[in-house]
Amino acid sequence: MLSAGVIAWVGLVFLAAGFVKGVVGMGLPTVAMGLLAVTMPPVEAAALLLIPSAVTNLWQLLTGPSFGGLCKRLWTMMAGVVLGTVAGAGLLTGTHTGVASAGLGVALVLYAFVGLARPGFTTPARHEAWLSPLVGVATGLVTGATGVFVIPAVPYLQSLRLDREDLVQALGLSFTVSTAALAIGLLREGALASPTAQLAGSIAALVPALAGMFIGQALRQRMSIETFRMVFLAGLLVLGLYLSLETLR
């Protein structure tokens, strides 16, 4: 049974995570897993994340213009995501929680560095056939071990030079598949020991997540996304370093 303080903290975390997603179109699992992992095991944080992540990502996926085309183009990457996530989900459970926390910290640091460095690389179309499934498996392994979906999927999708709306929808597709695969992996590992209670907690977390997302979308129209992006990435860098170094103590 979670204490009132932990419940309040979870609500604030998902409000903040939804706000970030509303402003920049991504980041809900990254922020939520990073902050929740400070106060609870990563597997518990991942269980809370499932419903808010699934609903917000489905919303993002289904409101775009190119669902069919993106599915056809990226299906091998999505298959790799599923395989990698299910295979790596065991790292979020049992005696591996310290490793998972450190892995989460490293993933956050890498993502922050990639975003701050503004890499200009492009993936040629002729390389997508072999590179997409490899990126999918790598993303799945990181997702299975940390609950974070961004590395290396986001830099790769950005390198495809999709237009803005297609990129947002492609991110929604990747995050939706990752969320579903993570749920399968956690069930397979028996990590959802009290599925009814955990499902109820995840559904409850959806409320502040959606509230934050609405606020973020409203604010996005009034502020510089670039300014917020820099602050966001710097915050992830600090949080990632904290989680990575904490396991050395």
Residue 50 belongs to domain spanning: 4-246
Which range has highest mean pLDDT (66-70, 145-149, 161-165, 223-227)?
Answer: 66-70
Give pLDDT tens digits for 10-46: 999 999 999 988 888 788 888 898 888 788 887 788 8
Mean pLDDT, the chain, whole residue set: 85
Q: Which residues of 152-179 are buried (b: 16+ CB within 10 A; e: fewer)?
A: bbbbbbbbbebeeebbbbbbbbbbbbbb
Say if residue 155 is preceded by a cis peptide, omega within 30 of 0.
no
Could you tell me the two tokens for 199? 């499902």
The count of other CB atoms within 10 Å of the CB of residue 186 is 25
**Stated pTM of the model:** 0.80
Strand ranges in the chain using DSSP code E only, listed in sequence order: none
Q: What is the pLDDT of residues 174-217, one digit of tens each?
A: 999 999 998 888 888 776 666 676 788 899 999 999 999 999 88
pLDDT at 85 over 80: yes
What share of the chain in percent tops pLDDT 70?
A: 92
List pLDDT tens digits, range 89-127. Answer: 877 665 666 677 778 788 888 888 888 887 667 899 899
pLDDT of residue 115: 83
Higher pLDDT, 221 or 210: 210
* Overall average pLDDT of the 51-73 stretch: 89
Going from the C-alpha of 190 to that of each of 9, 23, 35, 90, the distances in angstroms are 26, 35, 24, 9
The residue with greater pLDDT, 152 or 64, is 152
Q: How confident is the model at residue 135 (pLDDT cuts 50, 70, 90)?
A: very high
Number of domains comprising the chain: 1
Predicted pLDDT of residue 72: 95
- How much is the pLDDT for 5? 82
Residues 6 or more apart whose CB falls under 8 angstroms from that of 58 comprise 172, 176
- The residue that leads in pLDDT, 239 or 122, is 122
Residue 146 confidence class, pLDDT cut points 50, 70, 90: confident
Question: How far is 82 from 77, CA to CA, in rounded Å?
Answer: 9
**pLDDT of 119:** 64
Residue-level pLDDT at 97: 61
